[in-house]
Amino acid sequence: MPKLLPDDLLERVTNALVAAPRGLSLAELQEALKDIVSRRSLQRRLDAWARSGSIKTEGIRRGRRYFPAGDDTAPTPAANVGQPAPPSAAQAVTASVAISAAGQQVQALVQRPIADRAPMGYQRDFLERYVPNETEYLPENLQTHLRALGRTLDGHRPAGTYARDILSRLLIDLSWASSRLEGNTYSLLDTRELIENGKAAPGKDAKETQMILNHKAAIELLVESGEEIGVNRYTITNLHALLADNLLEDSRSAGRLRTTSVAISGTTYLPTAIPQLIEEMFTLSLDKAATIRDTFEQSFFLMVQLSYLQPFVDVNKRTSRLAANIPLIRSNMVPLSFVDVPEKLYIDGLIGVYELNRIELLRDVYLWAYERSVRRYKTVRDSLPEPDAFRLKYRREFVEVVSHIVRERIPPTEAAVAPLAKSMVSPEDLDRFTSIALAELTELHEGNIARFRLRPSEFKQWKER
């Protein structure tokens, strides 16, 4: 049986290269790593990493030397050799992702030149052979590990409670990180300014701004409707409609299954263009997902199968990433923000699904991303005060009263709020409820209206009146 390569082989190679100002030859690397990898396997991996940009090379054949990807001082024939620069932050993050032996195999296959990879169409048996609660994309030990990581003290509380407690941070993180995976150039600080203060970053394309705002609206839908959302057609199509708002050539395509063909750059995969098959597989994928008992298996299944089917004309990957959060939000698990996920590794994982129907590399990315999210949000949540029990008790009623006042363009006065609230709350709670509702109306702005299911146009008309 061939020796399995260690999961951190790239990290070990990178560390060896960083410590060698003049780079290393294949023979020198082999000497340093002879106990864990054969010369032939090492050479194959080096070639694959060089093609992907994970490392750099100089020279040819026996004279070839290897350098860390962050090294901009690799020698040329006329250059002096200097101390190499350390790897960039993005490269350091990529190197920290533990890739399994199976994931490394997928990575090597999808990093071959595209001309060497066979064209692939949609394979319906990839979905059909999945049997909920028998087939496992995430082995039981991983499910147990993720449950232990993501479990919170809010498990017994209404769905979405945990996510609501960290909503302000989650809106910024997930909107920024998911958009970044689509090539959006907004920085984290730009995103915070847009979400909290409604200020678009100067010099940015309007589509980038729209993408961030669409993520915000979609995340608010999932969190504020935690008890109502589910793994069903209504939730997924409305999620897509929010994410695709004002970004599609034909606005009627938002929230509708596609009836035309789509192409994905950088891959040989061509999704099906048969409307009947798209409809059938979309329905089947949601039916199967809805019966999966484990929260994380359900989450990862949605991310895999929605990306693979490409049910909409565009915005499919964004939809799959937010859909992966539905089970987590409903179960009051720590949500998945995708912060710092290496874009190239994520795309390679998707291509493994597209061209090979293999999920191992994408699973490695999912696991790493979730572990990172847990570290991020448990720290945030631990620093927050306990939520106001009164507001939690009347959360739906606050939404109803505030949204009614705004939609009907009623002035925010006690005389207007109290009669509405009287039939909704206990008599002893009426005064406090009215006071809080008036405060919410006073503090209402474009950055928080989605909490009350309001549209910008409704808020604007109310303010003008």
Based on the fold, state whether residues 45 and 62 are members of the same structural domain. yes
Domain stops at, among 96, 131, 150: 96
Based on the fold, state whether residues 309 and 324 are members of the same structural domain. yes
Asked, for residue 435, whether it belongs to a domain, the answer is: yes
Based on the fold, state whether residues 123 and 161 are members of the same structural domain. yes
Based on the fold, state whether residues 162 and 211 are members of the same structural domain. yes
Domain stops at, among 382, 411, 444: 382
Based on the fold, state whether residues 176 and 312 are members of the same structural domain. yes
Based on the fold, state whether residues 79 and 124 are members of the same structural domain. no
Asked, for residue 4, whether it belongs to a domain, the answer is: no
Asked, for residue 1, whether it belongs to a domain, the answer is: no
Based on the fold, state whether residues 219 and 189 are members of the same structural domain. yes
Based on the fold, state whether residues 264 and 331 are members of the same structural domain. yes
Q: Which two tokens stand for residue 30?
A: 């082999």
Range(s) of the domain holding residue 460: 389-464
All residues at 6 or more sequence positions from 65 whose CB lies less than 8 Å from its CB, including other chains: 22, 23, 24, 25, 57, 58, 59, 74
Residue entry with tokens 């100089």: 58
What is the count of structural domains for the chain?
A: 3
Asked, for residue 422, whether it belongs to a domain, the answer is: yes
Residues shown for the chain? 465
Rounded to the nearest 10 degrees, how much is the dihedral formed by the CA atoms of 278, 284, 285, 289? 160
Task: Find, among 362, 246, 227, the residue nearest to 306 by Cα.
Answer: 362
Asked, for residue 103, whether it belongs to a domain, the answer is: no
Contact 63, 123 (CB under 8 A): no
Contact 343, 179 (CB under 8 A): no
CATH code, domain carrying 82: 1.10.10.10
All residues at 6 or more sequence positions from 398 whose CB lies less than 8 Å from its CB, including other chains: 391, 433, 436, 437, 440, 452
Radius of gyration over every alpha carbon of the chain, rounded to an integer in angstroms: 25
The one-digit pLDDT tens for each residue of the chain (465 residues) are: 445 566 667 877 887 777 776 778 888 888 877 777 788 778 888 877 777 677 888 776 666 888 877 544 444 333 333 444 455 555 555 667 889 999 999 999 999 999 999 999 999 999 999 999 999 999 999 999 999 999 887 777 888 888 888 898 999 999 999 999 999 999 999 999 999 999 999 999 999 999 999 999 999 999 988 788 899 999 999 999 999 999 999 999 999 999 999 999 999 999 999 999 999 999 999 999 999 999 999 999 999 999 999 999 999 999 999 999 999 999 999 999 999 999 999 999 999 999 999 999 999 999 999 999 998 887 654 454 556 778 778 888 988 999 999 999 999 898 889 998 888 998 998 888 998 998 888 888 877 787 788 888 888 889 887
Based on the fold, state whether residues 334 and 407 are members of the same structural domain. no
Based on the fold, state whether residues 427 and 369 are members of the same structural domain. no
Asked, for residue 297, whether it belongs to a domain, the answer is: yes
CA distance 240 to 247: 11
CATH code, domain carrying 246: 1.10.3290.10
Asked, for residue 123, whether it belongs to a domain, the answer is: yes
SS (H, E, C) 192-204: HHHHHHCCCCCCC
Task: Find, among 210, 275, 270, the residue nearest to 245 by Cα.
Answer: 210
Based on the fold, state whether residues 165 and 299 are members of the same structural domain. yes
Q: Which two tokens stand for residue 121?
A: 């169409």
Residue 214, SS3 per DSSP: helix
Domain stops at, among 382, 399, 416: 382
Contact 99, 107 (CB under 8 A): yes
pLDDT of residue 7: 64
Based on the fold, state whether residues 74 and 122 are members of the same structural domain. no
Alpha helix (H) residue ranges in 187-294:
188-197, 206-224, 233-244, 275-290
